[in-house]
Amino acid sequence: MLLRRAKWGIRARDGTSLGYPSLSHYSRSMFNDFSSPIRYFLTRRSTKPRDLVAPGPDSEQLRQILTAAMRTPDHGKLAPWRLVVVHEDQREKLAELLSAAYRAEKPDAGRLEIEAMVQFAHQAPAMVVVLSSPVQASKIPLWEQELSAGAVCMNLLHAATALGFGGGWLTGWPSYNDQVRDAFGEAHERIAGFLFLGTPSRPLDERPRPDYFEHVRDWDR
């Protein structure tokens, strides 16, 4: 099926609509548009964690978010992931952990680098650490189990947005340090991401999006 560009969407040669153009055609107020399920997915936008402020989800809302996050593709029904909630009264301990681990790995770290670790720990009203926790004895390939953990992270953001919150998924240095990983999980586990939730403090900005025609093709062998 040949594809062509259209002013207000992507259509096949027969006129079948295949989607919508870049969000640069729309106003910023249309991010995370819940007027229909497909409109939400076509306008979905994360919030930068540093822009998330109170209120965040309460305990019941967070329970709903995490329950929804775990309704994810999971070959073999292994649930190869763990979710760790870092409460507000634990943020300073997390900041101390990140700072100490960073100094241990990088003894020459400057003040600004350490401050960045402290700021990382104190972002947003709510934080969830998602761990990839593969079942090593399973016949399900490791790669598929890790993909399931990534799907948990994405579902978590969708659920938070559905309840009216903003969310951001970060990795960075803290996700790849063994001392930090050991504080949340076991040696065979990996941090899939730090998920930050709260209320956006300013309007969302669009980011560059992949071009449909550069990443989608028909199989023609």
Task: Give the residue numbers of the binding site for FMN.
Answer: 44-46, 71, 75, 169-171
CA angle 23, 192, 58 (to 5 degrees): 75
| Nearest partner of 80 among 120, 153, 136, judged by Cα | 136
Contacts of 13 (CB under 8 A, 6+ apart): 1, 2, 3, 4
DSSP state of 79: -
DSSP state of 121: H
Is residue 45 within 8 A of residue 31, CB to CB? The reply is: yes
CA atoms of 120 and 112, how far apart (whole Å): 12
Decide: residue 135, CB within 10 A, 0-12 exposed, 13-18 middle, 19+ buried.
middle
Is residue 4 within 8 A of residue 16, CB to CB? The reply is: no
CA atoms of 172 and 71, how far apart (whole Å): 26
Q: Which residues make up each annotated binding site?
A: 44-46, 71, 75, 169-171
CA atoms of 53 and 34, how far apart (whole Å): 22
